[in-house]
Structure 1
Amino acid sequence: MDTVLFLTVGLVFFITPVRSNTSGLKKVSKVQLLGFDWKNCGAPDAPAVLKTLNVSPDPVSIPGDLQASASGSTSVELTAPLAVNVTLEKEVAGFWVRVPCVEELGSCHYKDACELLNQLVPPGQDCPEPLHTYGLPCRCPFKAGSYSLPQSDFYLPVMEVPSWLTNGNYRVQGVLGMQDKELGCLRVSLSLRSN
């Protein structure tokens, strides 16, 4: 699966449960993610691209089950340090407002996503399912080539999220870079609703 997808969506939404020392988080019993959409935003000849991404159901319930499939490719090996610039915007009164970087969440620059991946899945530990089953890598280096994740089932557990992230329409852009060269760009739009 394409690294840009993991890093863009993962850094903004799914690393939160790992970061238990973050202040201002609240446990939300149920969140719905609706209207998930994505597109590549890099140059037509960008080395790293997401080719397909399918997520169901719509809405996705958290906690709950999710089915996803994806394919992507990179024409260059992705190695440390692998920088990611994330821009997160929230719709407020019909205007898109950039969410600042607060405690590594929001519109942030991550100097080395490889190190973040190592924190999520320490070296020497097998990649989580279903990546392990399909022989897909979950940490750097990512060799040049094509990656494909067939339709797979995931369970999304209860999460602690910042209060400002629990309801609203969001746009996220992640730009992947290495040695000051842009390798790929992904834009995601979605809505979050919580009770």
Structure 2
Amino acid sequence: MFSTNILYNKLLLILSCYLIIVSGDDDFHWSDCGGQTVRFNRLDFQPKPLILSKTKEIFVTGDFSIIEDLPTNVELIIVLNKTLHYQDEDSYNITIPCLDGTFGSCTIKLCDIFDTWLNDIICPFLKKNNRPCSCPIKAGNFSLENSRITVPFERFKGFLAQMASGDYNAKIMINNLDHFGPGENLLACLLLHARLAEN
């Protein structure tokens, strides 16, 4: 059994890896790609660009709306790709596999996160937005304003930093497993593209 501190540090590492995907200007763009229930309105952070050798903290700002209460039988699907370039001409994407059930291209039951150590982040966020820390997540407007996250980028050095830097794309979807009609099961969809710099 991991201690609370180890689990919290692990969560920060995983969360910061996802925030790597959210960078700035030509290095960053995002779009709401559909869904019947969730609308993404704003997403940004400082500082930009994210540089492995320099960035120690990220300040996240964003807001989104949940039009109606999310059902209990909902899954979060994350598809994370990295673009590899060959001889400055050809490029191709590789899908990053699901690592430890939480980072990479993973499928997670949304309500399950309330029974795990991810609760350390989700509950404070919901309470800050005057929502109960329970599943299903209730409808309403949610926001973050310069919320600080310490990122363990100092772990990315040398060859590891070279491997981690580059262009990333992610597609994050929330699906209702109780509906099977065309488009009926997609509750939310978010597309992200960004570049992470080594130096």
- 1:156 is aligned to 2:150: yes
Larger radius of gyration: 2
Alignment coverage as a number of residue pairs: 164
Query: Counterpart in 2 of 1:101?
Result: 97
Looking at structure 1, the residues matched to 176 and 68 of structure 2 have their Cα atoms a distance apart, in angstroms, of 10
- Unaligned segments of structure 1, at least 5 residues: 1-14, 21-30
CA 1:96–1:116: 2 relative to 1, 3 Å: farther
Judging by fraction of residues, say which structure has more strand.
1
Query: Counterpart in 1 of 2:16?
Result: none
Which is worse superposed, 69-78 or 99-108? Answer: 99-108
- Give matches, 1:39-188, under 5 Å: 39-43=31-35, 46-60=36-50, 64-93=56-85, 94-103=90-99, 104=101, 105-110=103-108, 112-122=109-119, 127-128=123-124, 132-135=127-130, 140-149=135-144, 151-158=145-152, 163=160, 166-179=164-177, 180=179, 181-188=185-192
- Aligned CA RMSD, in angstroms, stands at 3.5
CA 1:122–1:133: 2 relative to 1, 3 Å: closer
Q: Spell out, residue by residue over 1:6-43, the C-alpha distance to the aligned partner (whole angstroms, 9 max, x if none).
A: xxxxxxxxx992499xxxxxxxxxx8974232111115
- Whether contact under 8 Å (2:21, 2:168) holds in the other structure is no
Q: Which amino acid aligns with 1:101?
A: P
Query: Counterpart in 2 of 1:23?
Result: none
Q: Which amino acid aligns with 2:189?
A: C
Query: Counterpart in 2 of 1:189?
Result: 193
Q: CA deviation at 1:184?
A: 1.0
CA 1:194–1:53: 2 relative to 1, 3 Å: same
Partner SS, residue 197 of structure 2: strand
Looking at structure 1, the residues matched to 147 and 32 of structure 2 have their Cα atoms a distance apart, in angstroms, of 24
Q: Which amino acid aligns with 1:120?
A: W
Q: Which amino acid aligns with 1:57?
A: P
> When the two structures are superposed, what TM-score results if normalisation uses the length of structure 2?
0.64
